[in-house]
Amino acid sequence: MKSTDTPRSHVQRRGARSNTREHLIRAGLESVLENGWAGTSVDKVLTTAGVPKGSFYHYFGSKDDFGFALLETYQAYFLRRLERCFGARPNGVNPSFTHKLAAFLSESTVGMRRFRWRRGCLVGTLGQEVAGLHEGFRKRLDASIRDWEAQLAASIRMAQDGGEVRANFDADRLARSFWAAWEGAVLRARLARSAAPLVLVVEDFDQLIHI
Amino acid sequence: MKSTDTPRSHVQRRGARSNTREHLIRAGLESVLENGWAGTSVDKVLTTAGVPKGSFYHYFGSKDDFGFALLETYQAYFLRRLERCFGARPNGVNPSFTHKLAAFLSESTVGMRRFRWRRGCLVGTLGQEVAGLHEGFRKRLDASIRDWEAQLAASIRMAQDGGEVRANFDADRLARSFWAAWEGAVLRARLARSAAPLVLVVEDFDQLIHI
């Protein structure tokens, strides 16, 4: 630490440290979501985050370690979003599955539109580059989608218990179908710069489960 | 031309030229399908194709021009595949739409398995990187998928005319849904290294249109 620095408390220093890490992760997510993994350089992330190079290797052992941290942050954020949209409500008043789907669609559309359709899904983006990445990425990406499937399947089962969705449908299979269609629709929405592909997937799915 | 070269006829020279271009495109497709656009360097493509650097700029004005040529080649190949799987048969004996879907699934699975699930779809791969690419890419990628949609919709209409699929289904809409789900499934198949996601999409679609 240079002598000109104002002495800071332990708590302040820890706060600054975790802020630096967060800044790096935020800048990394923005870059990978727009430009992909190969299109993201550590140097550019550092510039965007306003962090000196030495700091990066203080927090992450390598670019791969950074990538794993990005995935972990993204996955935590996405699972919170799924819980918010598809989970049981703490107050016990449960919206219909149709309303839950609509809430997820609305959040997703607002999010994609905010960034003018430039940002997709981290799992979809890294997934397209998986052949060139560390094998650990493939496993974590695969596990990420399996978590989404489990969370959606649980919500479908709740709708089956409530009599909204027919009990003889396979909730796990429906959830797998939904995420495949959703990932494809996110890609299509970026290309078309339109919410229409997202709306289509949700309408199809809503219709399918209510047959 | 160096004096040590054996003189070649005009036709031979033209053949060599078109071979060089084809080698470059083949090497470029392999690289982009595995590593994405940002992960593909012109230098590496040249090394793989065994072509000197000067030649690249003889055939392509820039890396972007090369990318457009890759897309054009891929699109032509993919539309031929769709025609083979979903088109009308020249002998007039038309397989059912279910058989056509199965043929497409089989070709796709064989193709992906051959490269050990390392290669995805060019449109899906470039689509994930579209924010960092020339705007022309977005438009061409979007147009590529619209061509696939049109070709599939035509095949669905044929099945409607033959009474196999209900006439009140919107063929264009069905085709849009299929390609969204398919692109997502290709991603999932690469991550899972398994044909299961592709099989699922085709089974779902086959069931849906035969309701």
Burial class, B121, CB count within 10 angstroms (exposed 0-12 / middle 13-18 / buried 19+): buried
CB contact under 8 A, B142 and A180: no
Distance from CA of B210 to the nearest CA of A (A): 13
On whether any CB of chain A is under 8 Å from the CB of B204, the answer is yes
User: Under a CB-based contact definition with an 8 Å cutoff, are residues B121 and B197 in contact?
Assistant: no
Of B118, B127, B211, the CB nearest to A187: B127
Distance of CA A128 to the CA centre of its chain: 15
Q: Write down the pLDDT at residue A10.
A: 60
Q: How far apart are the first and last CA of chain A?
A: 66
Q: Write down the pLDDT at residue B17.
A: 65
Nearest CA to B108 out of B178, B159, B40 is that of B178
CB contact under 8 A, B35 and A39: no
Distance of CA A123 to the CA centre of its chain: 7
In angstroms, rounded to a whole number, what is the distance separating the alpha carbons of residues B156 and B56? 42
- Alpha-carbon Rg for chain A, nearest whole angstrom, is 20
Of B120, B129, B190, the CB nearest to A35: B129
3-state helix, strand, coil in chain B (%, to 5): 75, 0, 25
Q: Which residues contact A151 (CB under 8 A, 6 or more apart)?
A: A79, A82, A83, A86, A87
Of A35, A141, A190, the CB nearest to B127: A190
The most confident of A55-59, A191-195, B11-15, B85-89, by mean pLDDT: A191-195
Q: With contacts defined as CB-CB under 8 Å, which chain A residues touch B137?
A: none
Say which range, A11-20, A187-196, B125-134, has the weakest mean pLDDT: A11-20
User: Under a CB-based contact definition with an 8 Å cutoff, are residues B180 and A181 in contact?
Assistant: yes
Q: Write down the pLDDT at residue B1.
A: 40
Q: Write down the pLDDT at residue B91.
A: 82
ipTM score of complex: 0.88
CB contact under 8 A, B35 and A38: yes
A149, A152, A153, A158: CA torsion to nearest 10: 170
Distance from CA of A181 to the nearest CA of B (A): 4
- Residue A200: CB atoms within 10 A of its CB come to 18
The CB-based long-range contact list for A95-102 (8 Å cut-off, 24+ gap) reads: A96/A159, A96/A164, A97/A155, A97/A156, A97/A158, A97/A159, A97/A164, A97/A165, A97/A206, A97/A209, A98/A164, A98/A206, A98/A210, A100/A155, A101/A202, A101/A205, A101/A206, A102/A202
pLDDT values of chain B reduced to their tens digit, one per residue, 211 residues:
444 445 566 656 666 667 999 999 999 999 999 989 999 999 999 999 999 988 899 999 999 999 999 999 999 999 999 999 999 888 877 899 999 999 999 999 999 999 999 999 999 999 988 888 889 999 999 999 999 999 999 999 999 999 999 899 999 999 999 999 999 999 999 999 999 999 999 999 999 898 7
Rounded to an integer, the average pLDDT of A5-9 is 56
Of A142, A187, A208, the CB nearest to B128: A187
